[in-house]
Structure 1
Amino acid sequence: MSAINYKHLHYFWVVAKCGGIGRASEQLHLTPQTISGQITLLEESLGAALFDRVGRHIALNETGRMVFSYADEIFSLGEELEDMLHHRPGDRPLQFSVGVVDSVQKSIAYMLLEPALKLPETLRMVCREGKLSTLLAGLAIQSFDIVIADGPMPPNSNVRGYSHLLGESGVAFFAAPDLARQLKKGFPHSLDGAPFLLPGEDAALRPRLLRWFDRERIRPRIAGEFDDGALLKEFGAAGAGVFCMPSSIAAQIKRQYGVAEIGRSGEVTEQFYAISVERRLSHPAVVAISSAARKRGARAIRTGLRQN
């Protein structure tokens, strides 16, 4: 394998971030053919393809995702360095690094982090998404100030940390309008035998949901399992099955995906935590997030999110 050409790697990084060569060409002010050729040269130097073609689109394959994770770290640090060099010490923004577990819904993560944006200081927020174990490893070496998770610190974790409850929400069940009309009457037992889209094994909601099905003697037909919540919602909107999300964002889910709500359960809950290496929080942004959560009340995230 020859030495990596970092210009080619940068083009690849922009394409992966933009989601396609067309959008990347607009950002880089280069023709799609030029970018495509540069990525081909990068793949040849690495000895592996980085994208798979899906219809008329391209998607990162396993190797591409690994390369992207390194490229993202390289060029994000470069942007950070450039930003720091262009600010005098007194003008430098307050740095706030957050790890967000990939099973936490993006809109929930935004709602929880949004109080930090209201600080009087100029804030530079850096968010990284990933598996809990990976993010906790980063927390241990102080790559993150906090990790936003859908569960507390695992009891068997080798990382020393503290879990700060930010809120809790019941769940709502959604489906494409035609399917929702069939299942609305008789909920929740109407879900028995219905196609259901289950969150992935890493989601803290999954075991709670399955226990609730057992208690209610509901046996849905599992039509799919998804680690990616956005992909799960897309399949649900297309009519592939019923799915559940925090009831606190029900209005947004219906508006964004054109789905209908079947019913709700307060017995199945999602919890949201800030995990830190500090028992007593000190970072101004983390304090602002925790303070906003306390004002809502530990179990009042549903109300708090509706008021935002």
Structure 2
Amino acid sequence: MSTPLNYRHLYYFWVVAKEGGMARAAERLDMAVQTVSAQVRMLEQSLGHALLKPAGRGLALTEAGTAAMAQADQIFQIGEQLPAAVHEAATGQGLRLAVGIAEGLPKLVVRHLLEPALRDPRVRLRCEEDEIERLLADLALHRLDVVLSDVPPPPNPNLRLYGHKLGEAPMAWFAPASVAALCDQPFPQCLQHMPILLPTHQAAVRPRLDQWLERHQLRPRLAGEFEDSALLAAFGRSGMGAFPASHWSRQELLQDPDMRLLGETPEVLEHFHLVSAERKIQHRLVQALLAVPPG
């Protein structure tokens, strides 16, 4: 059985690496140089590798030290957040929710998915958008409480993550009145005579949309492809073309009196997933997201 890591020794090493030398680290820690040096040597002995090497008048990281420093940075950055998290929980201000939004997830849907957690006016929400791989890494390090995505988490033996099916919604096609007037044929044949906008192939729903168009023998002019669904809707609203959006976006889109619903495509579904770092969800706000099926 391996010896448990001594986090005090790791902290001394972290300070030495930050300060670039034993003397400066000892001054910051208000300790004797010999004591700090001895603690770092004990860490090196427990890990079985040298972490520091002489560099001029100071010290530099070895390759092993660089790897150890990357981990120590993550550990102590999280530790620095501990007092604030404890204070907020103890004073009843702990209703924080940090959400990762995967690129390609329709932004008009995100508000709908998060609505069950936003019913308490005390909630403080923080959303970050990024590539799914980066978001999952932050989730594993507990920098995020949850990640929302249009695909389930990929299997990764190095990350302990759990996927939860959050819901699914059929797609529908919309267009501003100027575009809808280009054809008086019924849906979906009307799309053949309109420019259309589609999400890029990064979006999980794009292949299903392509298959649907092919199934109906529709080959309209593709006027644009957008990675960001909000941009897609914005250009569609401006008159660039007809565009697909989740059924959950219908109410918001049709608040614009110039927008038209061309037709529904119930056979084309958009899937939504919630990814957590816990098998059994403890975060009250994340529990709320899973307790109420979106509809």
After TM superposition, is the score higher than 0.5? yes
**Alignment check: 8 A CA contact 1:233 1:243 kept:** yes
Tell me how far apart the structure 2 counterparts of residues 139 and 195 of structure 1 sit (CA, whole Å): 40
Task: From the superposition, tell whether residues 174 and 83 of structure 1 become closer, same or farther in structure 2 (CA, over 3 Å).
Answer: same
Partner of 2:124: 124
Partner of 2:240: 240
Tell me how far apart the structure 1 counterparts of residues 90 and 213 of structure 2 sit (CA, whole Å): 56
Question: Equivalent residue of 2:109, what SS?
Answer: helix
Partner of 2:264: 264
Q: CA deviation at 1:149?
A: 1.0
Partner of 1:100: 101
Tell me how far apart the structure 2 counterparts of residues 84 and 159 of structure 1 sit (CA, whole Å): 24
Partner letter of residue 280 of structure 2? R
Partner of 1:175: 175
Partner letter of residue 113 of structure 2? L
Tell me how far apart the structure 2 counterparts of residues 220 and 189 of structure 1 sit (CA, whole Å): 10
Greater fraction of residues in helix: 1
Partner letter of residue 102 of structure 2? V
Partner of 2:112: 111
Tell me how far apart the structure 2 counterparts of residues 110 and 99 of structure 1 sit (CA, whole Å): 13
Structure exhibiting the larger radius of gyration computed from Cα positions: 2
Partner of 1:74: none
Q: CA deviation at 1:200?
A: 2.0
Tell me how far apart the structure 2 counterparts of residues 160 and 223 of structure 1 sit (CA, whole Å): 41
**Alignment check: 8 A CA contact 1:163 1:274 kept:** yes
Identity of counterpart residues, as a percentage? Answer: 38
Partner of 1:41: none
Q: Deviations over 1:73-132 (max 9, x none)?
A: xxxx9xx99987996943442332111123223332112212123359x43322112222
Number of aligned positions between the proteins: 216
Partner letter of residue 283 of structure 1? H
Partner of 1:226: 226
Partner letter of residue 165 of structure 1? K
Tell me how far apart the structure 1 counterparts of residues 166 and 88 of structure 2 sit (CA, whole Å): 34
- 1:290 paired with 2:290, answer yes
Q: Deviations over 1:53-72 (max 9, x none)?
A: xxxxxxxxxxxxxxxxxxxx
1:38-187 pair list within 5 angstroms: 89-119=90-120, 122-155=122-155, 159-183=159-183, 185-187=185-187
**Alignment check: 8 A CA contact 2:182 2:194 kept:** no
Partner of 1:191: 191
**Alignment check: 8 A CA contact 2:182 2:193 kept:** no
Tell me how far apart the structure 1 counterparts of residues 184 and 107 of structure 2 sit (CA, whole Å): 27
Partner of 1:279: 279
Structure 1: runs of 5 or more not aligned = 1-76, 294-300
Structure 2: runs of 5 or more not aligned = 1-77
**Alignment check: 8 A CA contact 1:195 1:223 kept:** yes
| TM-score with structure 2 setting the length | 0.65
Tell me how far apart the structure 2 counterparts of residues 257 and 130 of structure 1 sit (CA, whole Å): 33
Task: From the superposition, tell whether residues 108 and 86 of structure 1 become closer, same or farther in structure 2 (CA, over 3 Å).
Answer: same
Question: Equivalent residue of 1:219, what SS?
Answer: coil
Question: Equivalent residue of 1:289, what SS?
Answer: helix
Task: From the superposition, tell whether residues 287 and 87 of structure 1 become closer, same or farther in structure 2 (CA, over 3 Å).
Answer: closer
Task: From the superposition, tell whether residues 95 and 196 of structure 1 become closer, same or farther in structure 2 (CA, over 3 Å).
Answer: same
Tell me how far apart the structure 2 counterparts of residues 223 and 270 of structure 1 sit (CA, whole Å): 22
**Alignment check: 8 A CA contact 1:166 1:290 kept:** yes
Task: From the superposition, tell whether residues 263 and 84 of structure 1 become closer, same or farther in structure 2 (CA, over 3 Å).
Answer: same
Q: Deviations over 1:157-183 (max 9, x none)?
A: 864422211111111111120221334
**Alignment check: 8 A CA contact 2:195 2:222 kept:** yes
Question: Equivalent residue of 2:181, what SS?
Answer: helix
Partner letter of residue 151 of structure 2? G
| TM-score with structure 1 setting the length | 0.62
Partner letter of residue 167 of structure 2? G
**Alignment check: 8 A CA contact 2:176 2:259 kept:** yes
Question: Equivalent residue of 1:255, what SS?
Answer: coil
Tell me how far apart the structure 2 counterparts of residues 157 and 193 of structure 1 sit (CA, whole Å): 49
**Alignment check: 8 A CA contact 1:183 1:262 kept:** no
Partner of 1:39: none
